[in-house]
């Protein structure tokens, strides 16, 4: 299994970072547009974190066998802990991950919380309340934001940056959940709180069948408005970010907020076609951030 570590020939740090960068370029999508404005050291660090999170998601994504998915997640957790203790084995990604965690003084607990979130994906297909959905969003998205701002660098005279990063992650993940409702339903997964479905008289069966209705669109409208409130945190967090990390965050916020606006523009139709932005549109949204970053260099 790729997630195991121990034995074999250790991968040089430079090569490990190169592997993480390759994974990010291939699979990061929205995020990679923002990452490219960063100085080399911070860019590589973000790519290492992305690779860790991407692989964690892959290991937990075994639809046919949840126990095997959990075992794979646990193996990745064990490999990470062993690497933090000094033994990366021959894993091609962990040397860069460990170097990034240490270099930017990231609490390893965030990596564990992320793995708790991917384990939820392996075992939990329904969330009864907003608190439960929030916990899932925190684990799979907010902790990534918390690690990311350490790589970006941030000032926090008010002591609020970590909470704002947490809430920014909630905004991003709720946008993902709304965008991917149809795809997730095809995998028998509902991330929206069942209490919200009941409030708008939308049954699980209707959602899983992808049946549109005025009630369903009212449910989506409600969730869009909820997500909007968390984008306020992103606006407050951005001025606290240092250097090129600030325009990188600005680019991310613009791209994800635009996805939410597109859901709204379509009249909350998330069933007929997956909401997505073209590469050109992403580039335009991130263009101002890229220009700011280059001017500040």
CB distance 137 to 175 below 8 Å: no
User: What does the pLDDT average to over 259-285?
Assistant: 88
CB distance 82 to 90 below 8 Å: no
Domain 124-297: give its CATH superfamily: Farnesyl Diphosphate Synthase (1.10.600.10)
Report the pLDDT value the prediction gives residue 158, as an integer from 0 to 100. Answer: 84
| pLDDT (tens digit per residue) in 54-77 | 999 888 877 667 888 899 999 999
Weakest mean pLDDT among 45-54, 211-220, 277-286: 277-286
Distance of alpha carbon 97 from alpha carbon 279, whole angstroms: 28
The three-class DSSP label of residue 124 is: coil
Distance of alpha carbon 281 from alpha carbon 297, whole angstroms: 25
Residue 258 is encoded by which pair of tokens?
A: 């635009």
Residues 6 or more apart whose CB falls under 8 angstroms from that of 79 comprise: 3, 4, 5, 6, 89, 91, 94
Judge whether residue 233 has pLDDT over 70: yes
Q: Give Cα 263 to chain centroid, integer Å.
A: 19
The three-class DSSP label of residue 154 is: strand
| pLDDT (tens digit per residue) in 172-190 | 999 999 999 999 999 999 9
CA angle 288, 240, 142 (to 5 degrees): 90
Q: Where are the domains of the chain?
A: 1-106, 124-297
Q: Tell me the pTM.
A: 0.91
């Amino acid at each position: 299994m790729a997630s195991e570590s121990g034995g074999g020939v250790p991968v040089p740090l430079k090569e490990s970072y190169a592997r993480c960068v390759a994974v990010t370029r291939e699979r990061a999508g929205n995020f990679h547009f923002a990452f490219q404005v960063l100085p080399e050291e911070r860019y590589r660090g973000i790519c290492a974190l992305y690779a860790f999170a991407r692989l964690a998601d892959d290991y937990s994504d075994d639809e046919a066998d949840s126990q095997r998915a959990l075992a794979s997640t646990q193996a990745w957790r064990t490999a990470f802990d062993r690497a933090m203790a000094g033994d990366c084995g021959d894993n091609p990604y962990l040397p860069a991950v460990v170097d990034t965690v240490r270099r930017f003084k990231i609490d390893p607990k965030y990596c564990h919380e992320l793995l708790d979130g991917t384990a939820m994906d392996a075992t939990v297909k329904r969330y009864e309340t907003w608190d439960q959905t929030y916990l899932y969003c925190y684990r799979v998205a907010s902790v990534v934001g918390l690690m990311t701002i350490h790589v970006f660098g941030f000032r926090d005279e008010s002591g609020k940056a970590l909470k704002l990063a947490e809430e920014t992650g909630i905004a991003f993940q709720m946008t993902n959940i709304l965008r991917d409702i149809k795809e997730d339903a095809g995998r028998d997964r509902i991330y929206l709180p069942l209490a919200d479905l009941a409030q708008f008289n939308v049954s699980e069966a209707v959602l899983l069948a992808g049946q549109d209705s005025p009630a369903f669109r009212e449910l989506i409208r409600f969730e869009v408005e909820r997500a909007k409130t968390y984008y306020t945190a992103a606006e407050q967090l951005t001025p606290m970010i240092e250097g090129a990390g600030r325009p990188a965050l600005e680019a991310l916020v613009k791209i994800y907020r635009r996805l939410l606006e597109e859901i709204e523009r379509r009249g909350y139709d998330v069933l007929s076609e997956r909401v997505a932005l073209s590469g050109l549109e992403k580039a335009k949204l991130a263009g101002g951030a890229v220009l700011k970053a280059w001017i500040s260099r």
